[in-house]
Chain A
């Protein structure tokens, strides 16, 4: 799971309460946020490596941004927190190697309200999953911190070497640029790469194969 949200809610490992980013202690049971970090350090979470390189790159980005010492309470804009760190970077590199031979898919942010993300290129790893979900809520593979992006906005999928995009009935819609205008995506649609896709009204991404 890739978490890019500028204000990352965190789930309390004791009572399961979803806390806002600026809470250092769980609002429901008082448990310290340290518990989340401790648990992550301790456990290796298989689905994380599955998502693979996309996360590796983004997580790296997060780490670099995060180097400033801890005080995340007041930061403007709030520093993206690596809620999940890649557990086995070596495995990820191997996967990269395999896919690089076939040509790899990338999602690049062209415009989005969180400026740190602009120009960020996120590799799409279809090796392990055929579908990559995109949306605002942390349950997605790619999380986009834009209020106009729906919680579950769209799904990217690879089928027979073709990239498809499906709009998940999002509130503000998904659009594909046809060279002149952004045309709304209705249901599932094939993408001719490179493609420029707009999610909601503020986020534009480029999908390409390199």
Chain B
């Protein structure tokens, strides 16, 4: 066993009424080994807007990233500018540096074509993959968001998207991150990219090719991952999967059954573990009420609201965003969780500042920051 699993459910008892049952599945790497057998695909925007300072910093960051990727992994480098170019295909990390040094910026942003090319490349090698994506602009080939929703990523890929500056589309990058259980990182100052990009390298993992299957009496709705089943290319740090289902009235028995299958890199074997949660029927309101983990419910609601807040901002709906943030603040106070209170306080301050500036640009900038923070909060530790 190189990873462990804990499953938390909000209700111990069922009652006369249906209820929303919230659950949290936490996977923790217990014993890590050097990450091998991953395919890193580096997709760099080399459109005209990246020219000069930005592309040089991106190259510097990418080279540092290559240095950190352990031997035994493959790296592909693609750029998209005038055309989509495959500069290095599944080579050893050290051999890819030449391809990166040769990057120059010019032309448009054929983002969609680039993604299609990447998807076929990842499918070709069938390895758990990381798609590290760097862009500073809006796509010029396909602009309709629905087309991106329809993209079929292989299940073992995780997107780590970096958006540089103020001109890219955060809704699109968030969408790609959400589709693959990945991360979207907003880079307001281009200088940060040199430090941030190398962090995408995963050096140690607890498990590879992980499938989390969740079965229940009720309809399961996952909040921060696609699925069920949830497919993860690796468990490199603790992963929390949040979801909800409707607990039927007067229900007694197993309500949730979670099965995890994964490849254990230490023993090179396939492993399986499972856990079930059950509920009993409560005879009194007091008994039912006492069996509810309200902190868990509050935490879940907090994330749901946080997600909504990001979406409100992206829709430049400041009025609604203010309302949502007020609810968030209230909820954070109820939970008495210091990290949440801190976060809402920070969000209040930045929203206040944006309102004072009062421009659409300021709102969009805030939206990027918040959306980035939301994906990180939801899917990393």
* Complex contacts, B247 vs chain A, CB 8 Å: 30
- A-side residues, CB < 8 A to B, are 13-15, 20, 24-32, 34-35, 38
Q: Do the beta carbons of A14 and B285 come within 8 Å of each other?
A: yes
Q: Do the beta carbons of B16 and A30 come within 8 Å of each other?
A: no
* Complex contacts, A27 vs chain B, CB 8 Å: 297-298, 301, 331
**CB of B148 closer than 8 Å to a CB of A:** no
Known contacts: A14-B285, A15-B289. The answer to whether A29 contacts B294 by CB under 8 A is yes
Please name the residue on chain B nearest to A24 by beta carbon: B20
Please give me the 4 A-B residue pairs with the lowest Cβ-Cβ distance, nearest first.
A25-B20, A35-B17, A30-B20, A32-B18
**CB of B10 closer than 8 Å to a CB of A:** yes
**CB of B288 closer than 8 Å to a CB of A:** yes
Chain A nearest CB from B21 CB (Å) reads: 6
Q: Do the beta carbons of A14 and B289 come within 8 Å of each other?
A: yes
What's the Cα separation between A31 and B20 when bound, in Å? Answer: 6
* Complex contacts, A29 vs chain B, CB 8 Å: 19, 289, 292, 294, 297
Known contacts: A29-B289, A30-B10, A31-B15. The answer to whether A15 contacts B294 by CB under 8 A is yes
Contact with A along B300-333 (1 / 0, CB 8 A): 0100000000000000000000000001000100
* Complex contacts, B327 vs chain A, CB 8 Å: 20
Q: Do the beta carbons of B301 and A32 come within 8 Å of each other?
A: no
* Complex contacts, A14 vs chain B, CB 8 Å: 15, 285, 288-289
Known contacts: A35-B16, A35-B17, A38-B16. The answer to whether A30 contacts B22 by CB under 8 A is yes
Known contacts: A14-B285, A15-B292. The answer to whether A28 contacts B17 by CB under 8 A is no
Q: Which bucket holds chain B's interface residue count?
A: 20 to 34
Chain A nearest CB from B163 CB (Å) reads: 30
Chain A nearest CB from B304 CB (Å) reads: 10
* Complex contacts, B19 vs chain A, CB 8 Å: 25-26, 29-32
Chain B nearest CB from A189 CB (Å) reads: 37
Interface of A is mostly: loop
Contact with A along B262-275 (1 / 0, CB 8 A): 00000000000000
Please name the residue on chain B nearest to A13 by beta carbon: B285
Please name the residue on chain A nearest to B249 by beta carbon: A32
Chain B nearest CB from A101 CB (Å) reads: 45
B1-56, CB < 8 A from A: 10-11, 15-22
What's the Cα separation between A28 and B294 when bound, in Å? Answer: 6
Chain B nearest CB from A15 CB (Å) reads: 6
Please name the residue on chain B nearest to A25 by beta carbon: B20
15 contacts between A and B (CB under 8 A): A14-B15, A15-B289, A28-B297, A28-B298, A29-B294, A29-B297, A30-B11, A30-B22, A30-B297, A31-B19, A31-B20, A32-B19, A34-B17, A35-B17, A38-B16
What's the Cα separation between A191 and B4 when bound, in Å? Answer: 74
* Complex contacts, A34 vs chain B, CB 8 Å: 17-18
What's the Cα separation between A81 and B224 when bound, in Å? Answer: 33
What's the Cα separation between A24 and B327 when bound, in Å? Answer: 16
What's the Cα separation between A110 and B79 when bound, in Å? Answer: 66
What's the Cα separation between A14 and B301 when bound, in Å? Answer: 18
Which of A13, A26, A31, A34 has the most B CB atoms < 10 Å from its CB?
A31
What's the Cα separation between A24 and B20 when bound, in Å? Answer: 9
* Additional A-B contacts beyond A32-B18, A38-B17 (12; CB < 8 A): A13-B285, A14-B15, A25-B20, A26-B19, A28-B294, A28-B298, A30-B22, A30-B247, A30-B297, A32-B17, A35-B17, A38-B16
* Complex contacts, B22 vs chain A, CB 8 Å: 30
What's the Cα separation between A129 and B292 when bound, in Å? Answer: 41
What's the Cα separation between A32 and B331 when bound, in Å? Answer: 19
What's the Cα separation between A27 and B288 when bound, in Å? Answer: 16
* Complex contacts, A30 vs chain B, CB 8 Å: 10-11, 19-22, 247, 292, 297
* Complex contacts, A35 vs chain B, CB 8 Å: 16-17
What's the Cα separation between A31 and B18 when bound, in Å? Answer: 6
What's the Cα separation between A15 and B327 when bound, in Å? Answer: 19
What's the Cα separation between A35 and B294 when bound, in Å? Answer: 18
B219-269, CB < 8 A from A: 246-247
* Complex contacts, B15 vs chain A, CB 8 Å: 14, 31
B268-291, CB < 8 A from A: 285, 288-289
* Complex contacts, A15 vs chain B, CB 8 Å: 289, 292, 294
What's the Cα separation between A30 and B10 when bound, in Å? Answer: 8
* Complex contacts, A31 vs chain B, CB 8 Å: 15, 17, 19-20
What's the Cα separation between A24 and B22 when bound, in Å? Answer: 14
What's the Cα separation between A25 and B104 when bound, in Å? Answer: 54
Known contacts: A14-B285, A14-B288. The answer to whether A32 contacts B298 by CB under 8 A is no
What's the Cα separation between A30 and B297 when bound, in Å? Answer: 7
What's the Cα separation between A29 and B285 when bound, in Å? Answer: 12
What's the Cα separation between A2 and B11 when bound, in Å? Answer: 34
Chain A nearest CB from B22 CB (Å) reads: 6
What's the Cα separation between A20 and B326 when bound, in Å? Answer: 13
Contact with A along B329-342 (1 / 0, CB 8 A): 00100000000000
* Complex contacts, B301 vs chain A, CB 8 Å: 27
Chain A nearest CB from B57 CB (Å) reads: 45
Chain B nearest CB from A39 CB (Å) reads: 9
Please name the residue on chain B nearest to A28 by beta carbon: B294
What's the Cα separation between A15 and B289 when bound, in Å? Answer: 7
What's the Cα separation between A138 and B17 when bound, in Å? Answer: 24
Chain B nearest CB from A27 CB (Å) reads: 6
